[in-house]
Amino acid sequence: MQYGEFDANSLMYITNRPELVFVRGSGSWLYDEQGKAYLDFVQGWAVNCLGHCPPEISEALATQGAQLINPSPAFYNGPAIELAGLLTRHSVFDRVFFANTGAEANEGAIKLARKWGRLNRDGAYEIITFEHAFHGRTLATMSASGKPGWDTLFAPQVPGFPKAKLNDLDSVKALIGPKTVAVMLEPVQGEGGVIPAEPDFLQALRELTREHGLLLIVDEVQTGMGRTGRLFAHEHAGIEPDIMTLGKGIGGGVPLSALLAREAVCCFEPGDQGGTYNGNPLMSAVGAAVMRRLTSPGFLDQVEETGRYLAAALNELVTRHGLVGERGQGLLRALILDDERGPALVKGALEHSPKGLLLNSPRPNLLRFMPSLTVSIAEIDEMIGVLDTLLHATRKA
């Protein structure tokens, strides 16, 4: 595909992309080079928590970009200190390490747990993770993930990640041994199909890890930063993990992630962890702007209310079309179909006219919804209307 004088084939092939180029975004809407509007219920896979080009982020980028962009992480900078302070103020954690991607934050969590195990558990290094989990695309985080087929994709895997079953405490108990140092999980498995960990399971898991002297790591790359109606999804269960990772929404659209830990777990020494751009003031200023918006009075209450509305609207589709069901938390939700037409619905939504609709189908029998946390009721209604039409059009005769 050509874009002006340039050929899109200069980009390395990693996925099938439609023949369009997005050139502008505002709130819940994207616009392509032909001027067509698309209602975005993917938002970069839950990245754009405040929608496209929100004023807080635009202003933070412009202001900080004119002052200081990258002094190197060998020095302190103001925005990084501010953002770290906001994160520790609003969580149970004491220290923050900034990175650029969720996978990098999860790599840091794995390294920190293994270092802690070497110092405190006679070299224990195994981290129990879960079937259908998704922790990133580096070799270690792919090995930690439970996505089918990933165990052979770039074999051999990084060892040390036995897999339990989500919401099955006995399956976790069966894997605990002298080499175990931690348990790591997503409070809601996003790529796995928006499968929540049950509150009583999370509570029992926290007790189990404490009983055995193990760390509990929560991967909140997708579920954190208000996505579920709480600032962090584990708060729904009232637990206090030892380590947490954040990504996606923390930057609101710019590359930013974080590794948070309680003081007793922080055992990195100089040289153990680092990164060229980690905590640079340009990205950190955006993260601070995002945090201030999310923690402003009433914001998360509105997310919970909007999430309930979206759940009810999706359940109406379930009843109307005889679908399997709906599940999720806050504004991370899934519609479970009665067949495997998910990809066809995504394609039909994209091509819908005069306005397109962006949907995601992580599994053929399921649609995932990750709108902006500022999505309006009217925009939810518009999405439901288009999806209702598409469900009728793709119904089997």
| Residues carrying an active site annotation | 134, 219, 248
CA 299 to chain centre: 19
Angstrom distance (rounded) from CA 10 to CA 115: 41
Amino acid at site 375:
V
> How many C-beta neighbours within 10 Å does residue 355 have?
12
Can the peptide bond before residue 159 be classed as cis, meaning omega within 30 degrees of 0?
no
Task: Write the CA distances from 25 to 18, 53, 222, 253, 373, integer angstroms.
Answer: 17, 6, 21, 12, 15
Task: Write the CA distances from 344 to 198, 233, 315, 324, 387, integer angstroms.
Answer: 31, 31, 20, 17, 12
Angstrom distance (rounded) from CA 123 to CA 118: 4
Here the tokens at position 319 are: 């009843």
